[in-house]
Structure 1
């Protein structure tokens, strides 16, 4: 079956692995998935990114983070905002603050994929890909 929205697929794989307390999850590699994974790592939601396979069959292996003695997932929720059927764009002043600044939005800008905080600092807007908290 063809995957028409690879970003949603990536978010769903991470969300499912996090809920089931898996240590790692694999997602198909692409430039966009690498960029999103890098932002998640910079913001402290995942601990490590590695690649396996080669060519078209390359996958990213994401090591998920958990906190506390009972291994509570660092990622509590991931929500896709801009979808293939309805793209959502925001300028720098209208960028959303997720949970009053406790969460983050991942934004695709002309300067690359970044968190909402970085986009505000650089004064750029763009497509709101997802919310993570």
Structure 2
């Protein structure tokens, strides 16, 4: 079984390190919402959806750079298919100073910095 989220995160990390500007990723609703969350916190400059036909779509991600430095230093996948990690509100307060954690909640993708987040499955950590 291929973990498509791990594939997406590795692709973004590798393209960020090689200083590519545009990334094309196969479309899924979850990956698109995760990319929009990256855009909301200014890790990527722009996210758009490219529809070629009814059955084929891609996500176009434009990476953001601050001068010569990448906005994405490292991405670590926390929750994996074999071991799902869930945090509650108490655990989120402890992890505030160690990067931004993206969580999948019942109300969409939130971060540990969001005051309305009450917990959920931890997807990844962006530094």
TM-score, shorter chain, exceeding 0.5: yes
Aligned-residue Cα RMSD (Å) equals 1.5
Question: Could you tell me which residue of structure 2 aligns to residue 59 of structure 1?
Answer: 58
Q: Distance in 1 between matches of 2:87 and 2:2?
A: 23
Question: Could you tell me which residue of structure 2 aligns to residue 113 of structure 1?
Answer: 109
**Secondary structure, counterpart of 2:7 in structure 1:** helix
**Secondary structure, counterpart of 2:122 in structure 1:** strand
Larger proportion of strand: 2
Report if the CA contact (8 A) 2:24-2:58 is conserved: yes
Question: Could you tell me which residue of structure 1 aligns to residue 85 of structure 2?
Answer: 88
Q: Distance in 1 between matches of 2:29 and 2:103?
A: 14
Question: Could you tell me which residue of structure 1 aligns to residue 46 of structure 2?
Answer: 48
Larger proportion of helix: 1
Cα deviation digits, residues 73-119 of structure 1 (max 9, x gap):
11000000000000000101112526x15x2000001111111112x
Q: 2:13 aligns with which of 12, 15, 20?
A: 15
The structural deviation recorded for 1:34 is 0.9
TM-score by length of 2: 0.91
Q: 1:76 aligns with which of 73, 93, 113?
A: 73
Structure 1 runs (4+) deviating above 4 angstroms are none
Q: How many residues align?
A: 125
TM-score by length of 1: 0.88
The structural deviation recorded for 1:57 is 2.0
Q: Distance in 2 between matches of 1:67 and 1:93?
A: 33
The structural deviation recorded for 1:35 is 1.0
The structural deviation recorded for 1:123 is 4.3
Q: Distance in 2 between matches of 1:123 and 1:20?
A: 34
Q: Distance in 1 between matches of 2:78 and 2:53?
A: 31
Q: Distance in 2 between matches of 1:48 and 1:54?
A: 22
